[in-house]
Amino acid sequence: MTSILDGKATSLAIEAELTDAVTSRLGSGKKRPHLAAVLVGDNPASRAYVGHKVKACARVGFESTLVERPLDISQEELLQVVHELNLDPEVDGFIVQLPLPDHINDQEVLEAVLPSKDVDGFHPVNAGKMALDLPCFLPATPMGIMSLLERANIDTQGKHAVILGRSSIVGTPMALLLRRNGVPGNCTVTVCHSRTQDLADHTRRADILVAAIGRAHFVTEDMVKPGAVVIDVGINRIPDATKKSGHRLTGDVDFDNVKSKCSWITPVPGGVGPMTIASLMQNTLTACAQKDA
Ligand code: GUN
């Protein structure tokens, strides 16, 4: 029997908790949490993601600011935007939406963000603390996946987790979190990537399979162990003539054929995506609360 890991419903439960937390903060005279997002250029996917973040802020009662800059912004100008947000006492946390244009040095921009406002968890200070299991901002997508596993009471202890993808945003932090001594956690983790040999041999041994490679329907039925928990991080645009936009979103997993083989599976949309947003909101509340003292 396959169960759907409903990220949408779980994110709504988290949003309800966040809404209550905001009400209680305001009731005791504390500041309303405020998230800012920097969007460079007009990549439609990035614009859509940032739009989801701004809308989520409104739903839970956070303030939000969208800082839009043109594609040809210079490195210095973008660093100046970051410095201003670092110094702005109204802004509790902020993100710089990726990808940035090719002429921008992403790493320099991410390192300019004050770690205490780095609600994306991309600054090396936060990444380092995560690796050492110290309190920090966790990157939103792996954090959301951990929450989803936790709230569905999925037993991860001693299980073999296989992660497809080694990005610094998803694959690498996911491996660290799943192998942590905790609940969820205590997995034995294999990280597969573009140079992995005999990939399907690895995926077929996964009790928990996390697909984060950005290739539509890459994970097929023959690659999945019966009873596995399958987490699909992919958000791929594929042509669809039946849609007004001419495209639809689909995951890295061939959901229709893989579904019946799993114990649990996340849909796309409605799985990991809403959990990513909810986690960013949780980090923003934490950033705000840390300034109370
Ligand atoms: N681009 C893709 N995922 C993310 C994310 O989690 N944060 C930011 N800032 N950019 C992204």
* Percent of all residues in the chain with a pLDDT value above 70, rounded to a whole number: 100
* Residue with CA nearest ligand 1 atom 3: 98
129 catalytic per annotation = no
pLDDT category at 292 given cuts 50, 70, 90 is confident
Q: How far apart are CA 211 and CA 252, in angstroms?
A: 6
One-letter-per-residue 3-state SS of 20-34: HHHHHHHHCCCCCCE
Q: If you measure from the C-alpha of residue 293 to the centroid of ligand 1, how many angstroms do you get, rounded to a whole number?
A: 29
Angle at 122 between CA 151 and CA 253, to 5 degrees: 50
CATH class in words for 27-114: alpha beta
User: The domain 140-273 belongs to what CATH superfamily?
Assistant: NAD(P)-binding Rossmann-like Domain (3.40.50.720)
Tokens of 192: 């597969």
Q: How far apart are CA 256 and CA 201, in angstroms?
A: 22
Q: If you measure from the C-alpha of residue 117 to the centroid of ligand 1, how many angstroms do you get, rounded to a whole number?
A: 15
Residues of the chain with CATH 3.40.50.10860: 27-114
Q: How far apart are CA 54 and CA 49, in angstroms?
A: 9
pLDDT at 293 over 80: no
* Residue with CA nearest ligand 1 atom 9: 97
* Percent of all residues in the chain with a pLDDT value above 90, rounded to a whole number: 98
**Cut 0.75: pTM above it:** yes
Q: If you measure from the C-alpha of residue 199 to the centroid of ligand 1, how many angstroms do you get, rounded to a whole number?
A: 26
Q: How far apart are CA 59 and CA 12, in angstroms?
A: 10
97 catalytic per annotation = yes
Backbone angles phi, psi at 72, to 5 degrees: -95, 20
120 catalytic per annotation = yes
Answer for the pair 87, 117: CB distance below 8 angstroms, yes or no: no
Residue 120, Cβ neighbours under 10 Å: how many? 25
Q: Which position among 6, 92, 118, 120 bears the catalytic label?
A: 120
- Which residue ranges have their beta carbon within 6 Å of ligand 1? 95-98, 120, 140-141, 169
Cβ contacts of 111 within 8 Å, gap of 6 or more: 123, 124
Residue-averaged pLDDT of the chain: 97
pLDDT category at 265 given cuts 50, 70, 90 is very high
Place of tokens 């993100």: 95
Residues of the chain with CATH 3.40.50.720: 140-273
* Residue with CA nearest ligand 1 atom 1: 98
Residue 246, Cβ neighbours under 10 Å: how many? 10
Atom of ligand 1 nearest to the CA of 140: 6
